[in-house]
């Protein structure tokens, strides 16, 4: 599979999962956390699906399109490994992490802290969506929407 095909499949999986979890997330109170704002594509999608939720976005710096940039009070800059710690216990209904790089050695370092952070920020029954696998006993893997291949993107519920 070419890198273009792989990229398209990953984004399709990302979108299909975000579309599929709306009702699940709506069963839980709390904000939505977007780890890895990037240019704001998934932030914009989340905003469409959850217009009444506070959505807090994180990135090293703001590089999103101006129309997809959160208000300053909902934008957290810096390394998520550190900046995320202040949000432990916030009781998020959804945390989406799109901070994988495709470089195994970098992603292995992210995986030393991201699963624990995701557990820490989520409310009970909160939903975790991630581009990297989150191997934690508190996170129950959920079935993926039809058409999304196992291992392409990851979906869990916080127990």
- How many residues touch ligand SAM under the rule CB under 6 A: the total is 14
Please report how close the Cβ of residue 130 comes to ligand SAM at its closest, in angstroms. 11
The 3-state DSSP composition of the chain as helix, strand, coil percent (nearest 5) reads 40, 20, 40
Q: What is the largest CA-CA distance in the chain?
A: 41
Among 30, 31, 59, 148, binds ligand SAM (CB under 6 A): 59
Judged by CB under 6 A, does residue 134 bind ligand SAM? no
Among 56, 99, 132, 139, binds ligand SAM (CB under 6 A): 99
Judged by CB under 6 A, does residue 130 bind ligand SAM? no
Judged by CB under 6 A, does residue 124 bind ligand SAM? no
Phi-psi region of 36 (alpha: psi -120 to 50; beta: other; left: phi over 0): left
Q: Where would I find the H helices in 27-134?
A: 41-49, 80-83, 104-110, 114-121
Cβ distance 153 to 130 under 8 Å? yes
Please report how close the Cβ of residue 50 comes to ligand SAM at its closest, in angstroms. 15
Please report how close the Cβ of residue 159 comes to ligand SAM at its closest, in angstroms. 26
Judged by CB under 6 A, does residue 79 bind ligand SAM? yes
Counting Cα atoms < 13 Å in the Cβ hemisphere of 22 gives 12
Judged by CB under 6 A, does residue 69 bind ligand SAM? no
Alpha-carbon distance of 154 to 149, in angstroms, equals 10
Q: Which helix (H) or strand (E) holds 148?
A: none
Taking the least distance from each CB to ligand SAM, the nearer of 36 and 70 is 36
Binding segment for ligand SAM among 49-57, 73-81, 117-125, 145-153 (CB under 6 A)? 73-81
Give contact residues for ligand SAM (rule: CB under 6 A): 36, 38-42, 58-60, 79-81, 98-99
């Amino acid at each position: 599979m070419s890198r273009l095909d792989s990229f398209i499949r990953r984004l399709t999986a990302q979108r299909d999962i975000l579309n599929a979890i709306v009702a699940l997330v709506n069963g839980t109170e709390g904000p939505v956390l977007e780890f890895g704002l990037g240019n704001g594509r998934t932030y914009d999608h989340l905003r469409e699906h959850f217009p009444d939720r506070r959505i807090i976005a994180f990135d090293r710096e703001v590089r999103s399109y101006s129309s997809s940039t959160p208000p300053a009070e909902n934008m957290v800059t810096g390394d998520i490994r550190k900046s995320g710690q202040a949000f432990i216990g916030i009781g998020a209904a959804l945390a989406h992490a799109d901070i994988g790089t495709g470089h195994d050695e970098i992603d292995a370092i992210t995986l030393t802290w991201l699963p624990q952070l995701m557990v820490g920020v989520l409310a009970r029954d909160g939903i975790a969506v991630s581009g990297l696998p989150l191997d934690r006993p508190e996170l129950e893997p959920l079935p993926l929407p039809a058409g999304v291949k196992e291992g392409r993107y990851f979906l869990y519920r916080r127990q």
